[in-house]
Chain A
């Protein structure tokens, strides 16, 4: 059982570069989300999606774009990377919209220099 798969696991970007963090789940979950975790901080919600074609902003959406063309995939795009986006990024999926536990991927450690 793959669960939630994130790629890449590690990435170094130069300021101003763009890239896409990939996230795929094989549990047929409707709800997916992206979080970032910074040192000494809890996870903070970037964007989420309640189903294919529907996305919305979380707590810290600036500098990130998302799309949801299929149930399985929820990529996160950094349009122009900044050092402030150095973080560990986690993708998650839930079996329901509310009051269900989130299943997390292993994370992508991103460094912007």
Chain B
């Protein structure tokens, strides 16, 4: 049972336009969400995060929106650049009261920026 879902395996966007990557989750105990970017043959690199007490977090060209009632978050990249072409993973962390926990990842969305 997948708790974090990225339903679009790939997304193609023109350079300079907005890229919107979506993520849905089913576990209401998730309270911290992160986006990672991954290039081939490299490890994931952290992009941006958001706590469940917020509904928006912005960092330069990247903005993450969280809609808790819909259990949905999205990553907006404006404007999209060729170097943004990568696989983007949505991840979530659960507060089970036990202290440390690992991350639950979605399957990823391959973003392709077209010149």
Q: A residues near B, CB below 8 A?
A: 4, 31, 33, 35, 40-45, 48, 50, 56, 58-59, 90, 92, 97-99, 101-107
Task: Please report the total number of B residues contacting A with Cβ < 8 Å.
Answer: 28
Take A43-B44, A107-B42 as given contacts and tell me if A102 and B100 are in contact as well, using a CB distance cutoff of 8 Å. Answer: no
Assess the A40–B107 pair: CB atoms within 8 A. yes
B107 contacts A105, CB within 8 Å? no
Q: Is the CB of B105 within 8 A of A42?
A: yes
Which one, A41, A102, A107, contacts B46 given CB within 8 A?
Answer: A102
Contact B99 A102 (CB under 8 A): no
- Indicate whether A50 sits within 8 Å of B99 (C-beta atoms), given known contacts A99-B51, A105-B43: yes
* CB-based contact A106/B101 at 8 Å: no
Across the interface, B103 reaches (CB within 8 A) one of A102, A103, A107, namely A102
- Since A42-B6, A43-B44, A101-B34 are in contact, a sample of 8 more A-B pairs with Cβ atoms closer than 8 Å, ordered by chain A residue number, is A42-B104, A43-B89, A45-B103, A97-B100, A98-B93, A98-B100, A101-B49, A107-B42
Given A42-B108, A43-B89, A106-B43, check contact A33 B49 (CB 8 Å). Answer: no
Q: Which residues of B contact A (CB under 8 A)?
A: 4, 6, 31-32, 34, 36, 41-46, 49, 51, 89, 91, 93, 95, 99-108
Q: Which of B46, B95, B107 contacts A42 (CB 8 A)?
A: B107
